[in-house]
Structure 1
Amino acid sequence: MTPDRTTRTGAAHRLAALVEDALGGPLPVRLRAWDGTETGPADGPVVVVRSRRALRRLLWQPGELGLAQAYVTGELDVDGDLADGLRRMWAAARERRLHPPRPGLTDRARAAATAVRLGAVGPRPPVPATQARLRGGLHTKSRDRAAISHHYDLSNDFYRLLLDDTMAYSCGLWTEEHTDADAAAAQRAKLELVCRKLGLTAGARLLDIGCGWGSLTLHAAEHHKARVTAVTLAGEQAAHVREQVRERGLEDRVEVVNQDYRDITGGDYDAVSSIEMGEHVGDAEYPAFAASLHRRVRPGGRVLVQQMSRGRNAPGGGAFIEAYIAPDMHMRPLGETVQLLEDAGLEVRYTESLREHYVLTVAAWERTLEERWDEFTALVGEETARVWRLYLVGGALAFEQRRMGVDQILAVRPTAEGVSGMPATPARWYERLDAS
């Protein structure tokens, strides 16, 4: 028998009434429940609650994390454009039609009664296997290694499938000549811009902290003849970079070190780079990190930090990203990071926002994920693939809507006499980047 989609006693209508009471406004998306009933706007995406377990997760874990758990397990899904659905929710929040739940005793009692009627009351569902489980003190070396491994040691095969041939897992630089398909060109333009900002020349010593899969390390060694010490905490990354160094015959120019940045020794580097690694350092630990950047570079040497940021009142990562993608990460407004770098003795000379560039970069990764969905699910399983779909779609929207940003910060360690050695103007940095 086909369920009556108009009845007010269907699961969808009961859920909608509960949600609207809690949010203080109408549903911005359509809702379909496990019994086939629907309610809400007729146009746009449909949020599908496939089982009562999704509701039970929200009872035990209200908010973003409970919703994410239900989505990655497939208990909750979106029929239609996921980005459109998330965009509508954020638009509703901005227009103040919706507000965070602040349930009182009466609201809680009504919610509990609805949950009982819907058959959703029960024991706490198990945490999805893809959710990080870290132990130990925040930002101890052992916990940081586990946090990095959770994300970056997923497998080199996974990242080869997701990324372009540069294996750069950071924001690219999309010049006017780049089309939507030119993700590799955008990454090469970014790598060349970093090398130019750092003033790399043949024989220059570069310390690449958080080198990833070696995109900057290899570019600097091949195209600028720099001598690079590449540091990563992820074992899978270190193995990949070493393999690339052997294949390209760069053993005399590149050293790969698999260790914590706090264990780096030596100094007097001509340049130091940190590309989207500073988010993993931690809030309390960042002053010591900034001091280590100053300590490692010689007087007159340059430091380039490319790092994600957040707006003053924006949450930055959020519960989902911190539980599934980058545990223990911390983002701050750009100005606070600049202050921390200057407090360490560095002189910040230029900052450049790449926020809109990250929208294009993440969109390219998300297209690859969708186009090769079967390959991804065969490699890592559907739950992990769904984690990445939610991460990439949500990340692109966060950059689009300025809840998150990403910036290149170029600093120098001045000499005792205050000499920076910086060029009078930066114009030449950008000449013919599309041809790099």
Structure 2
Amino acid sequence: MLEGAILSHLSAFSRTYILKTLSGLKYGSLQMVMKDQGQETSRTFGSTSKDPNMPCVTLVINNSNAWTRMSINLDLGFAEAFMLGELECDDLVSLVSIYINNWKLFGTGNVLLQIIPRVQKWLFTQSNDSERALKNVSAHYDTSNSLFAAFLSPDMSYSCPIWDVNRQDEPLKDAQRRKVHNIIDKACIRKEHHVLDIGGGWAFLAIEAVKKTGCRVTVITLSVEQKDLGEQRVRDAGLEDRIEILLCDYRSTPKPSPGGFDRIVSVGMVEHVGEEYLETYFSEISRLLNPDDGVMVVQGITVNNQTPQRFHKTRSKVQTFIDKYIFPGGYLPSVRQLIDCLDTGSAGALEVECVQSIGPHYAKALRLWRENFLANWETIKVLYLKERGSMSPLDLEAFRRRWIHYFSYCEAGFRAGILGDHVITARRPQVLTEGGIVPL
């Protein structure tokens, strides 16, 4: 009885706190429909502008627990309330956009109520060492190959594509193929090269590289499911003699003799490394790369150079939705931080040749993935239950909502420009000779 009274008072305090905070809303329009107190009431906050580009969202509170969750941790609390059906939203992408553009107003929630979760985050955050990295990768990528196949394009490419901006109806598979060939071209891969693909997923890049150049590729991954399906795809392509897939951490990858790998590529991997291992990541690339004329190309998600301090110093105090449910152990660096870590980690043995920004291309892919996921949900549900066993209807619905929120959350970040995606090409320092790149 005492516990119920405490929770009731906490919910009432949280409700008052959130509604008072919303009174300062400047960007966007938010209609709050509240059904948690036995009768339906409604309040509208924010802009009254008729601008069609101004986000306008309706948020329905079904259960008073949602108030407390959001007050304690706005990012994670909102996500969990949505997953459990304690609230509904008619446009998650626009809602996250409102949150981003009113960041100074919202912050991460009520600081007083965050004391316990902040202490928990401080005490229990674990290093992304080899053992933890294996568990973190498995948590997301070993969910189910059939799940990923239901929303990705047939190539199973799970990273930022490059769209033809003159083709509005371009298929996703064409944009993903363009992304992969962009990597192959930047790495200057030739037939005689042995290429290492770090975090090579389902081997799409490896297969395309061999088809285009005739090279040899070693793929490393920590996902058992990816390795199994990747090897099947290699067999289907008839390329078993040119591609091998190893279940291996980048820190323990064997170096081929005598000179290492001629080229190293890595797409969508650097964001899983963790802040404390960024220099190690580039140190390992340098160790494995041919010391004379090696080239590396890394593509990954980044944060805007102007936002990393705010993004990490505030969010790192409490656990986020992405931390807990999507990519545990992950960390998004800025481009500046990546280049600094590349230089320090390689001890100056790698020089940046090119930095390409493709972040604006990602939002459309995330929208299409979300649409594919929703369109194929009945198939996903059947296959997932077949692979994972029985789940309660509540757990299954929470699983569905988790993925919807993930796609929407990230799409909003890319639309706002807080998130980016960059392709960094670096090579061994060039020695000027008579027969060099530019004749003397």
Q: What range is the shorter-chain TM-score in?
A: 0.7 to 0.9
> Higher relative contact order by CA 8 Å / sep ≥ 6: 1 or 2?
2
Contact 2:267 2:299 in 1 (8 A): yes
Distance 1:323 1:24, change over 3 A: same
Distance 1:411 1:55, change over 3 A: same
Q: Which of the numbers 365, 369, 385 marks the counterpart of 1:365?
A: 369
Aligned residues: 379
Q: Report the AA paired with residue 277 of structure 2.
A: E
Distance 1:269 1:377, change over 3 A: same
Contact 1:168 1:215 in 2 (8 A): yes
Q: Which residue of 1 aligns with 2:79?
A: 68
Could you tell me how far 1:13 is from its partner in structure 2? Answer: 11
- Among all aligned residue pairs of Structure 1 and Structure 2, give the percentage whose two residues are the same amino acid: 25
Distance 2:64 2:298 in 1: 46
Q: Which of the numbers 144, 150, 161 marks the counterpart of 1:161?
A: 150
Contact 1:178 1:185 in 2 (8 A): no
Q: Deviations over 1:323-381 (max 9, x none)?
A: 11100111111011112212212110000000111112212212212322333344443
Q: Which residue of 2 aligns with 1:41?
A: 44
Distance 2:166 2:148 in 1: 26
Could you tell me how far 1:58 is from its partner in structure 2? Answer: 4.0
Are residue 145 (structure 1) and residue 139 (structure 2) matched?
Answer: no
Worse-matched range after superposition: 68-77 or 34-43:
34-43
Q: Which residue of 1 aligns with 2:8?
A: none
Distance 1:354 1:33, change over 3 A: same
Are residue 395 (structure 1) and residue 406 (structure 2) matched?
Answer: no
Partner SS state of residue 350, structure 1: strand
Are residue 300 (structure 1) and residue 293 (structure 2) matched?
Answer: yes
TM-score (norm 1): 0.80
Instruction: Please tell me the root mean square deviation across aligned C-alpha atoms, in Å.
Output: 2.8
Q: Report the AA paired with residue 205 of structure 2.
A: L
Distance 2:332 2:407 in 1: 18
Could you tell me how far 1:418 is from its partner in structure 2? Answer: 6.1
Distance 2:88 2:170 in 1: 28
Partner SS state of residue 358, structure 1: helix
Partner SS state of residue 65, structure 1: helix
Q: Report the AA paired with residue 262 of structure 2.
A: D
Could you tell me how far 1:82 is from its partner in structure 2? Answer: 2.0
Partner SS state of residue 244, structure 2: strand
Distance 1:21 1:178, change over 3 A: same
Distance 2:110 2:432 in 1: 54
Could you tell me how far 1:307 is from its partner in structure 2? Answer: 1.3
Q: Which residue of 2 aligns with 1:232?
A: 221
Partner SS state of residue 262, structure 2: strand
Could you tell me how far 1:26 is from its partner in structure 2? Answer: 4.7
Distance 2:417 2:184 in 1: 27
Could you tell me how far 1:401 is from its partner in structure 2? Answer: 0.8
**What is the 5 A alignment of 1:92-171?**
92-93=102-103, 101=109, 137-171=126-160
Distance 1:339 1:49, change over 3 A: same
Q: Deviations over 1:137-184 (max 9, x none)?
A: 411222111100010011000011110011100000101344345110
Distance 1:26 1:205, change over 3 A: closer
Distance 1:385 1:411, change over 3 A: same
Q: Report the AA paired with residue 295 of structure 1.
A: R
Partner SS state of residue 391, structure 1: helix
Q: Report the AA paired with residue 206 of structure 2.
A: T
Distance 1:422 1:205, change over 3 A: farther
Q: Which residue of 2 aligns with 1:220?
A: 209
Are residue 277 (structure 1) and residue 287 (structure 2) matched?
Answer: no
Distance 1:54 1:297, change over 3 A: same
Give the gaps of 5 or more residues in structure 2.
1-10, 49-55, 118-123, 385-395
Are residue 346 (structure 1) and residue 347 (structure 2) matched?
Answer: no
Q: Which residue of 1 aligns with 2:120?
A: none
Distance 1:245 1:157 in 2: 18
Distance 1:146 1:14, change over 3 A: closer
Distance 2:58 2:436 in 1: 54
Are residue 211 (structure 1) and residue 200 (structure 2) matched?
Answer: yes
Worse-matched range after superposition: 260-269 or 402-411:
260-269
Distance 1:322 1:45 in 2: 26
Q: Deviations over 1:390-417 (max 9, x none)?
A: 11111011011111111000000235x3
Distance 1:55 1:180 in 2: 41
Give the gaps of 5 or more residues in structure 1.
1-11, 109-123, 125-134, 425-436
Could you tell me how far 1:289 is from its partner in structure 2? Answer: 1.1
Q: Report the AA paired with residue 46 of structure 1.
A: T
